[in-house]
């Protein structure tokens, strides 16, 4: 394509322009794109949607967004209207029942990463795990956190200690602490379904529906759980609604970006055409000025007594002929040195 003068940048701009047309086909009815419309309809036999009827800006149509039915953009918009539009786009109705504010406690003890536990410490850490599980089963969440933390101080390489302490924090309505433990557990073992479940539940408490849905889905792939299945049925519609909303916002952002780029290109083309026209006018004026001055230049040369070239050439030719005749006369008068006299008596 580059051999034809079509660079990668031009192809990217063409792709962005086609993307804009997909979202808003009303651009095809603009006067500037008549050539493209003729090609699509007459050559490719394509069927185009009807042009918009709204012509609030004189003869220029107001292009309508295909999704919202509102003008894609106006000629001039104040910064206040832009801010209001952004605020309207950010509003989305989501049922946040059960969402709680995050806890602000100091980070819990994560143990010493540089420490290498001995066999005795590893055994003791497992005893702390057992005590923590018993406390958790009895509803003593704070006691469970205490035992799990003691085990972590002895050996912080055990995924289960962080996952179970995270579950204890969840039951204490401390989602941020639970997220820290879940992330630590996943650092030790990236395939820990228990850690993904704790992480998803903590994010659900904070109303982070997309993140929660993602981590529940990962947990289900590792180890299917009926409880997580039910939680996914509850939060997935919320996550999808947010995703669709974000996609719509991103689409509108790209439309504005492409429209602004097209506007800049048109402005640059207009400036280039103006500069070219001015250059042509200057060249035309210079040519006209030279045309008027040329006769005066020849007149001035004649006034200085410039010789007529034909007469001068004829005069020079005449002088040449005279010189040749003189030379011939001189040749006839010269004595004949080698001529032998006939009147000498040799006797």
Q: What is the pLDDT of residues 281-330, one digit of tens each?
A: 988 888 887 777 665 544 444 444 444 444 544 455 555 555 455 555 55
Calpha distance 49→32 (Å, rounded): 17
Residues whose CB falls within 8 Å of the CB of residue 75, separated by 6 or more in sequence, listed in order? 57
Specify the DSSP element, H or E, that contains 222. helix 209-222
pTM of the entire structure? 0.51
DSSP single-letter state for residue 60: B
Structure tokens at 189: 């073992």
More confident residue, 122 or 29: 122
103 has pLDDT over 50: yes
The predicted-structure confidence for 111-160, as pLDDT tens digits, reads as follows 999 999 999 999 999 999 999 999 999 999 999 999 999 999 999 999 99
Calpha distance 292→297 (Å, rounded): 10
Dihedral angle sign, alpha carbons of residues 126, 131, 132, 134:
positive
Q: Which fold has domain 119-231?
A: 1.25.40
Quick one: the chain helix, strand, coil %, rounded to 5?
70, 0, 30
2 has pLDDT over 60: yes
Calpha distance 232→31 (Å, rounded): 51
Overall average pLDDT of the 14-38 stretch: 74
The predicted-structure confidence for 154-187, as pLDDT tens digits, reads as follows 999 999 999 999 999 999 999 999 999 999 999 9
203, 213 contact by CB (below 8 A): no
69 has pLDDT over 70: no
Calpha distance 32→30 (Å, rounded): 5
Structure tokens at 74: 């106006």
Q: Which residue matches tokens 């003691």?
A: 150
Phi, psi dihedrals of residue 213, rounded to the nearest 5°: -60, -45
């Amino acid at each position: 394509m580059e051999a034809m003068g079509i660079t990668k940048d031009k192809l990217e701009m063409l792709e962005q322009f086609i993307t804009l047309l997909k979202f808003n086909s009303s651009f095809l009815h603009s006067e500037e794109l008549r050539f493209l419309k003729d090609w699509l309809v007459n050559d490719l036999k394509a069927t185009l949607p009807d042009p918009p009827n709204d012509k609030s800006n004189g003869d220029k149509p107001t292009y309508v967004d295909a999704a919202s039915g509102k003008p894609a953009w106006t000629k001039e918009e104040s910064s206040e209207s832009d801010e209001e539009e952004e605020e309207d786009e950010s509003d989305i109705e989501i049922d946040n029942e059960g969402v709680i504010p995050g806890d602000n406690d100091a980070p819990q003890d994560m143990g010493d990463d540089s420490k290498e536990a001995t066999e005795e410490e590893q055994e003791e850490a497992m005893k702390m795990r057992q005590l923590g599980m018993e406390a958790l089963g009895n509803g003593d969440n704070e006691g469970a956190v205490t035992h799990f933390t003691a085990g972590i101080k002895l050996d912080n390489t055990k995924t289960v200690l962080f996952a179970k302490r995270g579950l204890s924090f969840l039951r204490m309505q401390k989602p941020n602490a639970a997220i820290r433990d879940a992330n630590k557990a996943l650092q030790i073992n990236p395939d820990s379904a228990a850690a993904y479940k704790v992480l998803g539940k903590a994010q659900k408490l904070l109303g982070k529906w997309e993140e929660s849905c993602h981590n529940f889905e990962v947990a289900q792939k590792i180890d299917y759980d009926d409880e997580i299945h039910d939680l996914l049925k509850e939060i997935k519609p919320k996550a999808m609604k947010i995703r669709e909303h974000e996609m719509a916002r991103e689409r509108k952002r790209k439309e504005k970006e492409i429209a602004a780029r097209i506007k800049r290109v048109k402005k640059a083309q207009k400036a280039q055409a103006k500069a070219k026209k001015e250059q042509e006018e200057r060249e035309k004026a210079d040519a006209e000025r030279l045309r008027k001055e040329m006769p005066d230049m020849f007149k001035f040369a004649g006034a200085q007594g410039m010789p007529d070239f034909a007469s001068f050439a004829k005069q020079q030719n005449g002088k040449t002929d005279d010189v040749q005749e003189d030379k011939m006369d001189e040749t006839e008068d010269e004595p004949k040195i080698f001529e032998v006299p006939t009147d000498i008596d040799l006797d």
